[in-house]
Amino acid sequence: MRSEKASLLKNIPKVDKLLADERLRDFVNNKGLRVVVVDCAREVLNRIRNDALVGKLEQIPSDEEIVGEIRRKVEANLSYSLKPVINATGVILHTNLGRAPLSKVALENILRVSSGYSNLEYDLLKGERGRRYVHVERLLCELCGAESALVVNNNAAAVMLALKCFAQNREVIVSRGELIEIGGSFRMPEIMAQSGAVLVEVGTTNRTHLFDYERAISERTAMILKVHPSNYRIVGFTSVPSTSELASLAHKHELILMEDLGSGCLVDLSQYGLYGEPTVKSVIEAGADIVTFSGDKLLGGPQMGIIVGKRKFLEPMQKHPLLRAIRVDKLSLAALEATLKLYVLGELEKLPVFRMLAQDMKTLRRRANEVAKAIKKLLGEGADVWTMRSSSKVGGGSLPQAELESFVVAIKPHKLTPGELAKRLAKVDVPVVARIQDDALLLDLRTVFPEQQKVLVESVKKAVGQD
């Protein structure tokens, strides 16, 4: 037995011999890649050696097979890790899939501004150093009806900056029904602790009254914080004071009222049949001093934390040293300016988020039928394929209860479970992320762009076809 293994091991080819193989020549001749090829070759040979030692191999694979494996490894190494996927989940603002897709105008502006130099922090009229925030300030003030505006990396950073600036070592009053967690890493109590603010919880999970806030006010209080329940709803016997009630209370005691809106919507969504997401403007009008929200949720722009409100509260934040650590880059600013311009021009149909929201059942049904037909044709007897009514979600911590009527393609492969099909779909060239319900894999066309339909069908074919 021992000698059998020894002779097996002796048959493992040397790295140098493999590197000389002409099928690896293009890689090896590239100076930068040589190291990668050597690493991959060692990895493959180590695996073969280990398999031989534990008796998993009866004979060493041929040089041709080994070279093929090395090539595939090098190619996988060279391919992009971050890449486009097709979102067939029906969740429009999917945090794991990058939230809002950017509009073409935003992408073109990124290219226009970032391929060369720009006036990012240069005042062209004065010929001297300027501020990067001026490029979006006026637009944000206009669209939100606010006196002043500031942008940072994301909404978590926006909340952190405001707390640090106004509530460090002081108390912030929050309703127990609003101590939220968003997507794992944003937990309101933890952000508060990090900022040095002292959390004072009031009320109960389902009901908090104005008098709960009033009783909690002391000389240590800096702020009342209202948090929009963006990814959940407390329903039934519930009540919380409105923004204007809290504003009156806060101002009577010379406190700041801050509202974390989460998604931050700039237009009334009831035109899309969606209710319950307040516009930023309405919250400013109701008297909030500072309002924070994300750029990449319902706004449909880049990852960003947007802060709008009264000038006297924005100024200290604009001068705070923490701002430097959470400042936005030129790519995001270019994307945001272009996105905001679409709102000013009333061209919302140019924002992918709104196009997806606005799709009607007739269109979704037609598109689902097209895709189902193409998939049926490709898979033949390999799967049951049908279309049916279903519902999509807005996602991204917005409108948790809103269900958008939708039409989906259902696939039930004969030789695979829907879970196995989903796994395979994640591995093809253009990966597809789908939903599983009961025994079928569902493709929700609402979040699949029309120009992706062909590729979607191709990806399904590859996933079902591979063995």
Ligand X SMILES: *Cc1c(COP(=O)(O)O)cnc(C)c1O
Backbone angles phi, psi at 61, to 5 degrees: -60, 155
When the beta carbons of 263 and 359 are compared against ligand X, the nearer one is: 263
**Strand pairing report for 186-187 and 181-182:** antiparallel
Strand pairing partners for 129?
A: 122
User: Does residue number 172 form part of the binding site for ligand X (CB under 6 A)?
Assistant: no
Continuous segment of H or E residues that includes residue 440: strand 440-444
Of 295 and 418, CB closest to ligand X: 295
Q: Does 294 bind ligand X (CB under 6 A)?
A: yes
155 forms part of the interface with ligand X (CB under 6 A): yes
Record the tokens describing residue 435, joined without a space.
């939903």
> What single letter denotes the amino acid at residue 106?
A
The region of 5-13, 40-48, 179-187, 373-381 touching ligand X under the rule CB under 6 A is 179-187
Q: Smallest distance from the beta carbon of 183 to ligand X, in angstroms?
A: 7
Judge contact between 91 and 402, C-beta under 8 A. Answer: no
The count of chain residues that interact with ligand X, using the rule CB under 6 A, is: 15
CB 224 within 8 A of CB 170: no
Nearer to ligand X, 227 or 249 (CB): 227
> What DSSP assignment string belongs to 102-154?
PPHHHHHHHHHHHSS---TTEETTTTEE--TTHHHHHHHHHHHT-SEEEEES-
Looking at 47-55, 165-173, 255-263, 383-391, which segment touches ligand X (CB under 6 A)? 255-263
Q: How far apart are CA 216 and CA 163, in angstroms?
A: 18
Q: Looking at beta carbons only, is 151 or 425 nearer to ligand X?
A: 151
- Smallest distance, Å, CB 369 to ligand X? 35
Tokens of 368: 């689902």
Question: Taking CB under 6 A as the rule, does residue 195 contact ligand X?
Answer: no
Stretch that binds ligand X, among 36-44, 111-119, 153-161, 193-201 (CB under 6 A): 153-161
305 binds ligand X (CB under 6 A): yes
**What tokens appear for 464 in the block?**
């079902």
Q: Is 277 in the site for ligand X (CB under 6 A)?
A: no
Looking at residue 260, the DSSP 8-state letter turns out to be E
Residues in Cβ contact with 101 at an 8 Å cutoff, skipping those fewer than 6 apart: 352, 353
Q: Does 182 bind ligand X (CB under 6 A)?
A: yes
* Dist CA 405 CA 438 (whole Å): 19
| Pattern 216-245, ligand X, x by CB under 6 A | -----------xx-x---------------
Binding mask 369-408 for ligand X (x = CB under 6 A): ----------------------------x-----------
Binding-site ranges for ligand X (CB under 6 A): 154-156, 180, 182, 186, 227-228, 230, 260, 262-263, 294, 305, 397
